[in-house]
């Protein structure tokens, strides 16, 4: 059962929580983990939320399960216990018990309305960017996803994406290889950034996960950002 959405005084949108895991709707621009900017991370916010809500003294345990790129919004799950952390990490490693679904607003319709994409990606750490190749090359990693076309506005198109592997900037790099660009993603070929300057129209919409302790499937859904274009797509299922 999904808990009622709550907001803390740290401007945190909690979309699921129990004794073992907690999930939040990350805003675009928020950091999943620390970087050279020194900006506050969402980890700090979640720890503060738990500390305040449950009146916990001392340091709060919070296990990082996965991450989202800074310009990406949506579902981000953390483990509240070491048992949950170990079990979720195993699920991610074995690619069982967890399914990640994204929404992406793009500039054009792919040649196929639904397809499975397979590429080999190489991360350029200096540029903080990945490049997708059609064939395996030295230093590359296999990248797979499935997508389907689900809607449009006058200028843009909405894709629903199921992530099969979890590579650096995978969705952004694979679609750029097709000549399809996520709105606002200047780094991967869209002609201009979004007005906010640090967000792109890529949203981690939903995670289906086999609960690491209760052993039952739960569905965690993150509402799309309160931004005009996202709201135009909001009613699409």
Please report, in tens digits, the pLDDT of each residue of the chain (237 residues total): 333 334 444 589 999 999 999 999 999 989 987 666 777 899 999 999 999 999 888 889 999 999 999 999 999 999 999 999 999 999 998 989 999 999 999 999 999 999 999 999 999 999 999 999 999 999 999 999 999 999 999 999 999 999 999 999 999 999 999 999 999 999 999 999 998 766 999 999 999 999 999 999 999 999 999 998 999 987 776
Give the pLDDT confidence score for residue 5 in this predicted structure.
39
Query: What are the two backbone dihedrals, phi and then psi, of residue 41, each rounded to the nearest 5 degrees?
Result: -100, 160
Rounded Cα–Cα distance for residues 204 and 10 (Å): 21
Q: What CA–CA distance (Å, rounded) separates 19 from 24? A: 15
Signed CA dihedral, 43, 48, 51, 52: sign only: negative
pTM of the model: 0.91
State both tokens at 98: 């967890």
Residue 56 has a pLDDT of 86
Contact 206, 131 (CB under 8 A): no
What is the spatial distance between Cα 51 and Cα 35, in angstroms, rounded to a whole number?
24
pLDDT at res. 7? 42
| DSSP H helical ranges for 13-127 | 42-54, 82-94
Q: Tell me the chain's radius of gyration from C-alpha atoms.
A: 18
What local confidence, expressed as pLDDT, does residue 2 receive? 39
Q: Tokens 């590359």 correspond to what residue?
A: 140
Contacts 24+ apart (CB under 8 A), 4-10: 8/45, 8/48, 8/49, 8/52, 8/53, 9/52, 10/45, 10/48, 10/49
What pLDDT is recorded for position 215?
93
Q: For residue 166, what are the contacts with CB-CB under 8 A and spacing of at least 6?
A: 66, 92, 100
CATH number of 6-224+229-233: 3.30.2350.10
């Amino acid at each position: 059962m999904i808990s009622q959405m709550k907001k803390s005084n740290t401007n945190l949108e909690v979309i699921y929580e129990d004794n073992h895991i907690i999930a939040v709707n990350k805003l675009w621009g928020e950091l999943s983990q620390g970087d050279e900017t020194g900006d506050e991370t969402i980890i700090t916010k979640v720890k503060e939320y738990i500390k305040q809500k449950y009146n916990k003294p001392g340091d709060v345990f919070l296990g990082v399960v996965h991450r989202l790129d800074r310009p990406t919004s949506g579902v981000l799950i953390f483990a509240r216990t070491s048992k949950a952390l170990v079990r979720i990490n195993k699920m991610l490693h074995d690619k069982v018990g967890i399914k990640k679904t994204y929404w992406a607003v793009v500039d054009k319709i792919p040649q196929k309305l639904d397809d499975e994409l397979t590429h080999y990606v190489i991360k350029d750490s200096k540029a903080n960017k990945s490049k997708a190749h059609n064939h395996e090359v030295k230093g590359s990693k296999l990248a797979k996803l499935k997508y389907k076309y689900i809607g449009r506005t006058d200028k843009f198109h909405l894709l629903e994406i199921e992530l099969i592997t979890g590579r650096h900037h995978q969705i952004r790099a694979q679609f750029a290889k097709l000549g399809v660009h996520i709105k606002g993603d200047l780094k991967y070929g869209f002609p201009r950034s979004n007005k906010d300057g640090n967000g792109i129209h890529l949203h981690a919409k939903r995670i289906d996960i086999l609960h690491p302790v209760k052993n039952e499937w739960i569905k965690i859904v993150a509402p799309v950002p309160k931004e005009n274009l996202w709201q135009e797509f909001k009613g699409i299922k």
